[in-house]
Chains A and B, each alone.
Chain A
Amino acid sequence: QLQLQESGPGLVKPAETLSLTCTISGGSISSNNYCWGWVRQPPGKGLELIGSIYYSGSTYYDPSLESRVTISADTSRNQFSLKLSSVTAADTAVYYCARQACADYIWVEFYYFDYWGQGTLVTVSS
């Protein structure tokens, strides 16, 4: 049974970098046709896609966050990570990691999310 677990600080100061890691168990980050992504949800609001990565290194970032986001994968540890720089209070949210169906054609196409972690609340405050 695939399980995803987010880890990282629950409190980040404004202007600093938010860093989270997702540990995958019961599956491999190097699986063909599966990507690994981050989705966040501000308190009381809807879902916001942050970005995703394929084990080959191909990434997708939402245009609204692209200038501040880096997603990386560590195949040896079966983990992937999120870094979001220059955070403000607007980045306060529950952050979910998730497995994403995708297809590796000429380029990687990113699809829907079929397994999710439980989520972790990150608060941006001084």
Chain B
Amino acid sequence: EIVLTQSPGTLSLSPGERATLSCRASQSVSRGYLGWYQQKPGQAPRLLIYGASSRATGIPDRFSGSGSGTDFTLTINRLEPEDFAVYYCQQYGSSPLTFGGGTKVEIK
């Protein structure tokens, strides 16, 4: 099983700053099959990124994903107030599919 470790656990930033979130896999994620989700309190997760770097439909271009192998990054440029949330990564390159534990981006 691929274990996904997300860091940091909490990121405290101000609106307008850049957020850099890490997702590290215990083994290489096949074909770069990694996704990122955003979840706000009381809401369902929303897909942001799939295939490590492809933005999902309707996702603003301030969200970008990168990485391969075992190291992946979600970058949020110029944080907007609505971007403060919890972010999860998920790998689907090998079974069992797994989620990371999440990174909370909070207002500083």
Chain A contacts to B: CB under 8 angstroms: 39, 46-49, 60, 62-63, 96, 98, 101, 109-114, 116-119
Contacts and interface: CB of A to CB of B under 8 A. Distances in A.
A39 B97 CA distance: 11
Interface string B68-108: 00000000000000000000101010011111111000000
Given A46-B88, A47-B88, A114 B99 contact: no
Q: Is the interface of A mostly helix, strand, loop or mixed?
A: strand
Interface of B: 1, 33, 35, 37, 39, 43-47, 50, 56-57, 88, 90, 92, 95-102
A110 B35 CA distance: 13
A118 B16 CA distance: 29
Given A49-B98, A111-B33, A119 B90 contact: no
A34 to B, nearest CB: 13
A62 B44 CA distance: 20
Contacts of B45: 39, 47, 96, 113, 116
Contacts of B100: 46
Given A62-B96, A110-B97, A46 B102 contact: yes
